[in-house]
Amino acid sequence: MTDFELVVAAKSGDTTAFATLIGRYEERILRLVRGMVSRADVEDVTQEAFLKAFRKLHLFDGRSAFYTWLYRISANTAMDWRKKENRRRHAPLPESPEGEDRVEASTTDPATRAVQRELGEIIDQAIADLPPRYQEILLLREMRGLSYEQIAEELQISKGTVESRLFRARERLREKLRPWLEK
C-alpha cells in the first residue's frame, strides 16, 4: 500500500496502517532525532513525535509527502525538547541538604568553568533564537555532521537551498554572538 492509502486507512481507525507507516520511517526519524538531542533522550523524543503524529493525523491533508509531514513534526518535537532541556540545565542548582551549593567536579579552575558555562548559555540561547529552519540546518550540519547532500535528502530540499540556509544561519548566529566575539 502507498503512504496515502495507509493514511486514509489510519484516519479511519486502522491502527495497523499507522504502525506500518511508522515502521517505514522509524529508522530515518531516529537518525534525525539522534542528531538533535542527547543519546539518553532519543527514544523518548521519537516516541513523543510519533504520538503527536498519531494525534494530529486528522490534520494531514496530503499536500506534502507523509514523510515530510512526519519529519517536520519530529524535528519540531526534538527542537522543543532541546529548548526545554537547555532551560532545565541552566536553572539554578538546588541547595544541598547541608545548605551548600553543589559544585561540579572538574580539574578546571572555577573561573574557567564559569566562563565556559556562560559561553555555553549564550550560544544555546543564540541558537534557540534562530528560526526553526536555521536551527535545523545548523544541527544537522554541525551536530550530526551530515553533508549538504545528506541534509538535502533528509529535508527533501535542494542542495542549493541547504547551502543558502546554512549560510544565513551562520550569519545570523555570528551577528548574535558578535558582542562576545569582539571581547
The matching CATH number, chosen from 3.40.50.1470, 2.70.150.10, 1.10.150.120, 1.10.1740.10, for 1-76 is: 1.10.1740.10
State the pLDDT at residue 88.
63
State the pLDDT at residue 147.
87
State the pLDDT at residue 82.
82
State the pLDDT at residue 94.
46
CA distance 164 to 134: 10
Q: Which fold has domain 108-183?
A: Arc Repressor Mutant, subunit A (1.10.10)
CA distance 47 to 52: 9
CA distance 159 to 139: 16
State the pLDDT at residue 25.
92
- What does the domain layout of the chain look like in residue ranges? 1-76, 108-183
Dihedral (C-alpha) 134, 139, 141, 145: value to the nearest 10 degrees? 180
Contacting residues for 148 by C-beta, under 8 A, at least 6 apart = 141, 159, 162, 163, 166
State the pLDDT at residue 173.
85
Q: For the chain, which ranges sit under pLDDT 50?
A: 93-106
pLDDT per residue over 80-117, tens digit each?
888 787 666 555 544 444 444 444 444 567 777 777 77
State the pLDDT at residue 5.
93
Helices (H) and strands (E) in the chain, counts: 8, 0
State the pLDDT at residue 98.
47
State the pLDDT at residue 8.
93
